[in-house]
Structure 1
Amino acid sequence: MAQEPVTVWTRAERGARGRLPAHSRADLTAVAVELADRGGLSAVSMRQVAKELGTGQASLYRYVSGRDDLLDLMTDAVAGEIDLDVPLHGDPVADLVALAARAKAVHLRHPWLPDIPPEPLRLGPRGVDYLEYALRAMASVRLPGPAKMEIVALMSALVAQFARAEIQGSRATTDRQAAQAAYLSQTASQGDHPHVAAAMAEHPGTAPAEDPQRLFERTMRRVLTGLVVDDITAAGVEDVETPAAHDAQGTRDAPEAHEADPRDPTVGKRPEQ
């Protein structure tokens, strides 16, 4: 009978028999994170971790089944750096934007994190804590659970993308950036791309570059506002009535109908305390 697959979180850290292990998963994780911080994700291998610990590579398989387990441990360890003790203020969008900003700061401290191969369920104990916090921030939002999970997944993907762009932007040379900007400007001015030219005319190349954090927060706010507020009816929530339903019942002007109007920007927000 085939064994059911298990994750590193459900596998016992040490067997019931044999000598006590010389190290722990926490030791392996700390070394792997340090290697990645110094040399990127490619610097992390079972052989190099064993070398740093002063042990044989084969001995590491007493703690993990392979490199994927090690990546899971690393991801969860740095997820623990995201402050989840920050009080929620009752505005789902503002609370999620603030959470995303704290998550991006962790990505910038660990530039290898955006390079971790994405997996939908790469969650350990600290990752589950993060998910719980994000869902608690949306407790007042009338969307089904799967839709809220999708919002958290999209938010996490955007965090990784913005962090990657910021990291790569800091590494790009000034000359290369100037050459790319000049090429875009020249191409847009040739008349074949009028919409690009119009957009660039509103933001000339001589304007100072916008602060990456402000750009990130503004974009996240726009995206999350659309997901949390404007798309309530698209989620198929049964208890949210559409304007057409109100028309059919002749209750458009009733206070109850106004309060349930999914176009109302206050839907999904808690009242001010």
Structure 2
Amino acid sequence: METVPVWLRERRTGVGRPAERSRAEVTAAAIALADREGLTAVSMRRVAAELGTGPASLYRYVDGRDDLLDLMTDEVAAGYQLSAPGGPWLPGLLAVCRQGRDLMRRHGWLPELVLTRSALGPHGTDLLEHVLAVLAAHPASVGHKLEAFGVMTTLTAALALHELNAGAAQRQGAYLAHVVAAGRHPHLAAALTGGPTTPAPRFEDTVSRVLVGLLGE
């Protein structure tokens, strides 16, 4: 099993005709396919078809689908607009999270990859460097700062995925209404029906409370 990250591997030259594509073109084709048809559509065969070539030709650039997924995730991270750090740390991190949320809503397949795979390529490393720069003056340990980066990324993905799955939330609400009517879960019924409800917290509120909990005021 290949343990060297795809970004550190040399492109294979192969034999016969020289390569007609680049790793960037392969990545762009995979992203376009996932945007159009979802993550399950991404395979070596389908990406090769997007490029008008045979699957075997892709092995000059990647070892398989896992490489494609890592390249896709990192390439989307190029979409962050990382301005020079300055000012309080929390607004700086929230700005990153808002951009991440926008990217994940634009590429509906991305939250799943962020939540299930650990891939940090060139653009992801730039993002981590930016977050650490925002936190440079913060007294927290390096370990806690790295933990905050992981948590903010994961939480952003989870919240974006929840927003993208609006249909599932509606089905959940319908089932909870049935449960309340059945009368076998009194605490849940009280929580859902016991007077005025507080509006669901905004994205920024949720992320802020978690980050302050991790790093302090």
TM-score where L is the length of structure 2: 0.88
2:213 counterpart of 1:226: yes
1:32·1:44 contact (CA, 8 Å) conserved in 2?
Answer: yes
Change (3 A) 1:199 1:59: same
1:36·1:43 contact (CA, 8 Å) conserved in 2?
Answer: yes
Structure 1 CA distance, aligned partners of 2:163 and 2:213?
A: 24
Q: Equivalent residue for 2:125?
A: 128
1:76·1:125 contact (CA, 8 Å) conserved in 2?
Answer: yes
Change (3 A) 1:198 1:5: closer
Q: How does 1:247-262 map to 2 (within 5 A)?
A: none
Change (3 A) 1:16 1:177: closer
Identity of aligned residues (%): 43
2:94·2:207 contact (CA, 8 Å) conserved in 1?
Answer: yes
Q: How many residues align?
A: 216
1:93·1:228 contact (CA, 8 Å) conserved in 2?
Answer: no
For structure 2, which runs of at least 5 residues remain unmatched after alignment?
none
1:36·1:44 contact (CA, 8 Å) conserved in 2?
Answer: yes
1:75·1:113 contact (CA, 8 Å) conserved in 2?
Answer: yes
2:1 counterpart of 1:6: no
Q: Equivalent residue for 1:28?
A: 26
Shift of 1:185: 3.9
Q: Equivalent residue for 1:197?
A: 190
Q: Equivalent residue for 1:73?
A: 71
Equivalent residue letter for 1:180: Y
Equivalent residue letter for 1:72: D
Which digits, 9 at most, give the CA deviation of each residue in 1:94-140, with x for residues without a partner? 211121111011000000011226233x0110000111111111111
2:152 counterpart of 1:159: no
Equivalent residue letter for 1:108: R
2:135·2:145 contact (CA, 8 Å) conserved in 1?
Answer: yes
Structure 1 CA distance, aligned partners of 2:32 and 2:2?
A: 33
Equivalent residue letter for 1:79: A
For structure 1, which runs of at least 5 residues remain unmatched after alignment?
230-264, 266-273
Structure 2 CA distance, aligned partners of 1:46 and 1:203?
A: 53
Structure 2 CA distance, aligned partners of 1:11 and 1:44?
A: 22
Equivalent residue letter for 1:55: T
Change (3 A) 1:199 1:135: farther
2:173 counterpart of 1:186: no
Q: Equivalent residue for 1:82?
A: 80
Which digits, 9 at most, give the CA deviation of each residue in 1:160-197, with x for residues without a partner? 1001100001x4486x465235225435xx37533761
Structure 2 CA distance, aligned partners of 1:173 and 1:220?
A: 20
Structure 1 CA distance, aligned partners of 2:76 and 2:191?
A: 42
Structure 1 CA distance, aligned partners of 2:153 and 2:95?
A: 13
Change (3 A) 1:191 1:124: same
Equivalent residue letter for 1:52: E
Farther off after superposition, 214-223 or 24-33: 214-223
Secondary structure at the aligned position of 2:6 is classed as coil
Q: Equivalent residue for 1:113?
A: 110
Secondary structure at the aligned position of 1:5 is classed as coil
Farther off after superposition, 154-163 or 9-18: 9-18
Equivalent residue letter for 1:38: R
Change (3 A) 1:216 1:51: same
